[in-house]
Amino acid sequence: MASYGSLVWVGQALGPLTAGLTEDLIRATEELISVRDLAFDLAEMRAASIAENVSLVQYVLANNIDPATVAPPAAAAAYAQRLARRGVPLTALLRAYGIGQYRLLDAAIGVILAVPGREQATRVAELLAFAGTYLDRLNSSMGRIYETERDRWLSSRQAARQQWIARLLDGDGEIDATTAETALGYRLDQRHLAAELWAAPATPGPDAVRALEQAREMLSTRLGAGGTELASATGARDLRLWLPVGGPVDISAIAATIAEAELPVRVALGPPGDGVPGFRYSARGAARAKALAVSAGPGAPPVVDFDAVAPFALLVDDTGELTGVVERILGPLARDTTKMALLRHTLDVFLAESRSYSRTARVLDVHRNTVQYRIQQVTGRYGIAVDTDTFDIRFALGVCRWHPQVLTRTF
């Protein structure tokens, strides 16, 4: 146990000074860390915390108590817990203790220097050692109190948010929108765009978390949400978002932003919707678009928009019977081979470009003759007619793209 008995008289001399020191510290702390930066109703708690801390330091010194054994005063602990619940950074609390340390040291050193003698330097060194031990003990204790309360509060708040989200998505019973908005920190009386974000399975956990957060920030910035979105973790590598949107959504711009960032993250977007029904509708669409992207495997684009793939997304629940349909329409083109995949892609682009060989060649970045040769194989060798109504062909090609499990390895 460290002994600071030679400083007892310093602690006793500080006794009559504690009231003035407390008032001075309250003013100094307010000047450096404004109550407005915290919350007005925290002013009284902060004053009580400062008063108890000053009194405790004086008492510990005056009674030769080992500073390494001292517990924070009750008011200081309560203040730290309140800051944690308000989301005020721990640095603001520790900075306040730094200010207090400086002022108390200044006063205590003044007491020592007011008494002439050869031991002044020794006493000042002992005081600095005492202060270092005391502040280290206080900071570590207050840090634990703050973090424990923050974790408890965040866990409780997250649980409440998840419950409200589940109720909104279930759509059962009346929803008190005002209470829900308060719990969620998100307005429901607006137009919503839901998004599902998930990281690649091979991405290490910490990297996945960072990538998801980067993708969230990109979506928020691109849509002008300004940080007012609602986020809900649906797994260790999955995140669900609702973002407020005011006008048309530029899906191509979103896709370009995500692709350029080269993040190991995929995004599925739901259709925009208004109010509580839109909140639910958009989330369901995003979930179906995600299921479709997962079904498509690595070949799916990084961003999938429900509106663009709705016919195929709605098939995701049961694809068993689609195999026969695809085989009937495409024949050998439904085989799961590299060659057939190339021919299917060429045919898909060819039909999308209104059967134009030149435009198809530009899209595929190949020579026009290459397109002609591939289409001749499709029509001549495999008997696919492209000069009549091609709705069923395009549908079958889309199923092959988004539900590759329907492809057959043999006939």
Query: Which pLDDT band holds residue 282 (cuts at 50, 70, 90)?
Result: very high
Q: Which one has a higher pLDDT value, 342 or 309?
A: 342
Residue range 2-12: average pLDDT? 83
Residues 24-56 pLDDT 10s = 888 887 776 655 545 555 777 888 888 988 899
Lowest mean pLDDT among 196-200, 299-303, 404-408: 404-408
For residue 220, pLDDT over 50 is answered with yes
pTM of the model: 0.55
User: What pLDDT, on the 0 to 100 scale, is given for residue 303?
Assistant: 92
Query: Which pLDDT band holds residue 153 (cuts at 50, 70, 90)?
Result: confident
Residue range 142-149: average pLDDT? 89
For residue 101, pLDDT over 90 is answered with no
Q: Which of 63, 68, 45, 56 is nearest to 18 (CA)?
A: 56
- What is the residue type of 196? E
For residue 207, pLDDT over 80 is answered with yes
CB proximity list for 144: less than 8 A, separation 6 or greater:
none
Residues 106-120 pLDDT 10s = 888 998 898 888 888
Rounded to the nearest angstrom, the gap between the alpha carbon of residue 31 and the centroid of all alpha carbons in its chain is 34
Residue range 214-229: average pLDDT? 86
User: What pLDDT, on the 0 to 100 scale, is given for residue 405?
Assistant: 82
Residue range 325-337: average pLDDT? 87
Query: Which pLDDT band holds residue 411 (cuts at 50, 70, 90)?
Result: very low
